[in-house]
Amino acid sequence: MAWDIEEVDGCAVVRMNTNKVNVQNDQFFADLHGAFDRLEAESADLPVVLTGHGDVFSAGIDFQYSFDIFGSGDEQTIRDWYRNYRETNLRIFRYPRPTVAAVNGHAIAGGLITALDCDFRIAARKPAKFGLNEVPIGIPMPAAYVEIIKYALGEQVGALTTLRGLLYSTEEAEKLGFFHEIVAPEELLPTAIAWAKCVGPDCNTAYAMSKTALQDSVMRQIEERTVALDALIGKGMSDPGNRRAQDRRRVEIMKNR
């Protein structure tokens, strides 16, 4: 199902709806690229608000799907999967218009990275969990994502959240600086739209050029480190210890279904 795109008060509101909790798999990636293709073709001058539905922004990568790839032992297949995943994140990260994540609920692992790809993040003040729990379940964090995380959260918080892999409450995430503002659920979309309209259409080029300049060192790092470090992802993913951790997580998922 293609993501919904609606123009609201001079802003393109994109609602992710690949599946119930927006777990991220090949279909999610295709839907994301399809949505941004449409934005570029039909709404190129508009700022963008990205949101989910219900109580979940995105639950992160589809473990059942991805663990089959990770457990295949085929290093090239794993590297190809990560390359596709990296391209979806960079599609948001480098988009030349203001982008705001209207975080309507849980944003976990890859789901939180999707929010961090956006220029600004507004969250609903309600019970939810946020965090980067890849490492404790046996998934090496790719270097490209580490650069995005550090850009969005700073090096100290980026290292803390990546290496410990904890899930945080809304209040704890607020203290760590995950969000630029937290508002009542009914104010989430209006507030996100207001943030997205931080500049008028006449200043789109100024915004795009400034964003590119701000991200220049990040992109240089990604281009250089992706070659050197992310080439090792397949081998790291096939590590016996990581495989055992992934299998434990798979069992936990099946028990909770």
13 vs 79 pLDDT, higher one: 13
SS3 121: strand
Query: Domain coordinates of the chain in residue numbers?
Result: 4-187
Distance CA 193, CA 9 (A): 8
Distance CA 22, CA 44 (A): 25
Question: What's the pLDDT score for residue 243?
Answer: 83
Element containing residue 211 per DSSP (H, E)? helix 204-228
Question: Lowest mean pLDDT: which of 18-27, 46-55, 104-113, 239-248?
Answer: 239-248
Q: Average the pLDDT over 133-137 and give the result.
A: 93
CATH topology for 4-187 is 2-enoyl-CoA Hydratase; Chain A, domain 1 (3.90.226)
CA distances from 240 to 30, 164, 235, 245, 247 (A): 31, 20, 10, 9, 10
For CA atoms 186, 178, 44, 90, give the dihedral sign: negative
Which residues belong to the active site? 134
Question: What's the pLDDT score for residue 80?
Answer: 86
